């Protein structure tokens, strides 16, 4: 009998651990990241079922690479330019101040010399991109304002690995090597980034066009993997992170017509490898190093996470974040990151850190990663209030049509078709990113914004609009928008989608110019078609529909004046037999009982 390959057994263990742990931890409300970590700790340090966790970690780091590629696909260069302040100002300040503070703490703890303490401090200042972004994705907050700001900080940290690796060389070799090292490393990095930009603009899209013509899906998949891995390796060769290379490749393809196809191809690899990465972190947790330095780690890990979190909180507040957003970012990014592993290992080779100090720091970083999902969940529950809605940038460039439509629900989509077919431009705003993304896939330009905010209405061009069409799907939101517009923009005509009969009466009291219940006309048409199927002619069915419409309007007027229970005599409660639908040539004699029922 053939003995199974050890690699095959380890793969089965990792897959089994993921399948068991992720649903359990998700059900407990702790998130999938903590589940993968726990599975890795059980399989590795506790049961010792996998002997070489470093090999798993190296392979699974591709999950981070694929994650950054997909993020790049969703970020157009113009959007990245809008984030430049968060990336280069807030990101620089976070790395600099956190690094200096943590360097001081490392030196006071006697972990290494002042040179080694500087590397330790700045290594701990870097956070885990994989952990932070996965937590944001699990919570559905990747596009929240604080989520975008946290991503900007993480992006700068990825860039900072180049000067930090150069700093290791400088501190290890002496000041004489500093100038040449920085110039050479910076020059190579700039040339590599320039090559990526040129390739993305002139090579990638034509390449995918040629491959798409072949119709071979597996070749398109191979090309996608080649682009991601090739760009990652190129950046690694010049000292940048692999994740940064993949991110740049994604940015270059963000406006390509093949973006969605690429994302669909890469997504399964990203999800699986990222789960393996979290498990590999758990596998590599050195329990012996933790037990040998238990007191130092128990005191040191919470201390450095709190210190780093406080720096992030203060900087975010100074940069304009709300208290809730600043607390969310501080709770999301206090941990050490995967680039710290690289920095500490390099520092050992340069003689700045001992092997024992490096193991201690790596164990501390790993433990801080394990604590982050729990800390973030607690912060969201006790400090940041209710879960934030997903947000995207409010960008009203090009807005200002004759019709301003608020809400792009199914009702609004149908109404917009009539207006567009009639040759009228429509500015549509909606506060649902999912709906906006769905609409954009069909060619609609929808602006993100909350129609209940005056500044959003002004930015969307309400002062130039002839009619405001309110097509939101919740009564309370509709009423709030109507009241705001009636108060701030009384000259604007209001056409409003009504939720039900009671809402219609309420809207008429607010003196809207036109309202209609969302189900009225569709219900009438449905009834007419049913009558036709039962033998009525189209004309007869239409006349019945017109009669019901007239009665409904009269009843609404009575109810508005006398109350909701008035006007019941306008309702048909049984078939109408004696009264013909068309005017007869000679009047029949009406039965007394039937006449009374019709009245």
Q: Which residues of 141-173 are buried (b: 16+ CB within 10 A; e: fewer)?
A: bbbbbbbbbbbbbbbbbbbbbbbbbbbbbbbbe
- SS3 category, 312: helix
Nearest to 525 by CA among 561, 549, 550, 508: 549
Tell me how far CA of residue 470 lies from CA of 450, 480, 492, in angstroms: 12, 11, 12
- SS3 category, 531: helix
* Predicted pLDDT of residue 104: 93
| Stated pTM of the model | 0.57
CA gap 584, 161 in Å, rounded: 90
Q: Crossing angle for the helix pair 129-139 and 145-173, nearest 10 degrees?
A: 170
CA gap 56, 6 in Å, rounded: 13
Nearest to 304 by CA among 253, 351, 340: 340
Indicate if the alpha-carbon torsion angle 216, 221, 225, 227 is positive or negative: positive
Tell me how far CA of residue 530 lies from CA of 149, 336, 522, 537, 544, in angstroms: 56, 67, 12, 11, 12
Q: Give the 3-state DSSP-derived string for 14-26, with helices as H, strands as E and coil as C.
A: HHHHHHHHHHHHH
Q: What is the pLDDT of residues 498-544, one digit of tens each?
A: 988 888 888 888 888 998 888 888 888 888 889 889 998 999 888 88
* Predicted pLDDT of residue 446: 77
Q: In the beta sheet, which residues pair with residue 406?
A: 429, 470
Residue 472 near residue 405, CB atoms below 8 Å: no
**Which distant-in-sequence residues (6+ apart) come within 8 Å of 492 by Cβ?**
462, 465, 467, 468, 485
For residue 177, give the DSSP letter. G
For 74-144, where are the alpha helices, taking DSSP H only? 77-82, 84-85, 91-108, 114-125, 129-139
* Predicted pLDDT of residue 312: 94
Tell me how far CA of residue 162 lies from CA of 65, 240, 338, 531, in angstroms: 17, 6, 14, 75
Q: What is the pLDDT of residues 345-358, one digit of tens each?
A: 778 878 888 877 88
Number of C-alpha atoms within 13 angstroms, CB side, residue 42? 13
Per-residue pLDDT of the chain (599 residues; tens, 9 = 90+): 455 566 677 778 888 888 888 888 877 766 677 788 788 888 888 888 887 777 777 777 777 788 778 877 767 677 777 788 888 899 999 999 999 999 999 999 888 888 899 999 999 999 988 778 878 877 767 667 788 889 889 888 877 876 887 788 778 765 444 555 566 766 777 787 788 778 777 787 788 778 877 767 778 788 888 888 888 888 878 766 677 788 888 887 777 767 767 777 787 777 787 788 778 877 877 777 778 778 888 888 999 999 999 999 999 999 988 888 898 899 999 988 877 877 887 788 788 888 778 878 888 887 888 788 777 777 777 655 444 445 555 444 445 578 888 988 888 888 888 888 888 888 888 877 777 767 766 656 677 777 888 877 887 788 888 899 998 888 888 988 998 898 888 888 999 999 888 888 888 888 889 988 888 888 888 888 898 899 989 998 888 888 888 888 888 888 878 777 777 777 766 665 545 544 544 444 444 333 333 33
* Predicted pLDDT of residue 573: 63
* Predicted pLDDT of residue 591: 41
**Which distant-in-sequence residues (6+ apart) come within 8 Å of 487 by Cβ?**
none
CA gap 549, 521 in Å, rounded: 9
């Amino acid at each position: 009998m053939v003995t199974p390959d050890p690699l095959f057994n380890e793969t089965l263990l990792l897959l089994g651990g993921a399948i068991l742990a992720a649903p359990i931890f998700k059900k407990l409300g702790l998130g999938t990241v903590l589940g993968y970590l726990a599975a890795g700790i059980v399989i590795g340090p506790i049961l010792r079922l996998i002997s070489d966790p470093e090999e798993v970690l190296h392979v699974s780091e591709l999950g981070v690479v694929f994650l950054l590629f997909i993020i790049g696909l969703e970020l157009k260069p113009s959007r990245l330019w809008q984030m430049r302040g968060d990336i280069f100002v807030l990101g620089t300040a976070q790395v600099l101040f956190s690094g200096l503070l943590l360097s001081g703490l490392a030196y006071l703890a006697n972990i290494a010399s002042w040179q080694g303490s500087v590397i330790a401090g700045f290594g701990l200042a870097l956070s885990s991109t994989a952990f932070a972004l996965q937590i944001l994705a699990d919570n559905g907050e990747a596009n929240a304002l604080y989520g975008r700001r946290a991503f900007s900080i993480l992006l700068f940290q990825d860039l900072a690995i180049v000067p930090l690796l150069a700093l290791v060389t400088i501190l290890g070799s002496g000041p004489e090597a500093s100038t040449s090292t920085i110039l050479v490393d910076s020059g190579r990095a700039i040339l590599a980034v320039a090559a990526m930009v040129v390739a993305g603009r002139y090579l990638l899209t034509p390449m995918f066009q040629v491959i798409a013509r072949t119709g071979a899906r597996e070749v398109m998949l191979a090309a996608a993997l080649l682009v991601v891995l090739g760009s990652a390796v190129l950046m690694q060769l010049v000292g940048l992170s692999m994740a940064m290379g993949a991110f740049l490749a994604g940015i270059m393809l963000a406006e390509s017509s093949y973006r969605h196809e690429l994302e669909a191809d890469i997504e399964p690899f990203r999800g699986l490898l990222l789960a393996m990465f979290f498990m590999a972190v758990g596998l590599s947790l050195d329990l012996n190093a933790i037990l040998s330095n238990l007191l130092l780690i128990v005191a040191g890990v919470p201390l450095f996470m709190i210190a780093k979190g406080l720096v992030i909180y203060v900087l975010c507040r100074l940069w304009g974040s709300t208290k809730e957003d600043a607390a969310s970012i501080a709770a999301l990014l206090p941990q050490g990151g995967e680039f710290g592993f690289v920095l500490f290992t390099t520092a050992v080779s340069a003689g700045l850190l001992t092997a024992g100090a490096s193991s201690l720091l790596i164990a501390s970083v790993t433990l801080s990663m394990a604590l982050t999902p729990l800390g973030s969940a607690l912060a969201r529950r006790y400090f940041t209030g209710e879960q934030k809605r997903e947000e995207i940038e409010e960008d009203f460039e090009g807005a200002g049509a004759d019709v301003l439509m608020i809400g792009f629900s199914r009702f609004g989509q149908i109404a917009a078709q009539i207006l567009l077919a009639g040759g009228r431009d429509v500015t549509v705003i909606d506060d649902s990113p999912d709906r906006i993304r769905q609409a954009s896939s069909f060619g609609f330009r929808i602006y993100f914004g909350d129609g209940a905010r005056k500044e959003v209405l002004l930015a969307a061009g309400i002062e130039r609009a002839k009619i405001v069409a309110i097509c939101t799907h919740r009564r309370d939101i509709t009423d709030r928008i109507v009241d705001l517009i009636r108060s701030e923009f009384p000259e604007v005509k209001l056409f409003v989608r009504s939720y039900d009969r009671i809402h219609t009466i309420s809207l008429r009291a607010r003196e809207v110019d036109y309202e209609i219940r969302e189900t009225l006309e569709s219900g009438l048409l449905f009834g007419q078609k049913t009558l036709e199927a039962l033998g009525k002619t189209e004309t007869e069915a239409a006349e019945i529909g017109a009669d019901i419409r007239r009665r409904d309007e009269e009843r609404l007027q009575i109810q508005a004046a006398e109350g909701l229970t008035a006007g019941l005599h306008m309702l048909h409660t049984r078939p109408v037999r004696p009264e013909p639908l068309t005017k007869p040539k000679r009047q029949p004699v009406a039965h007394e009982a039937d006449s009374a029922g019709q009245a």
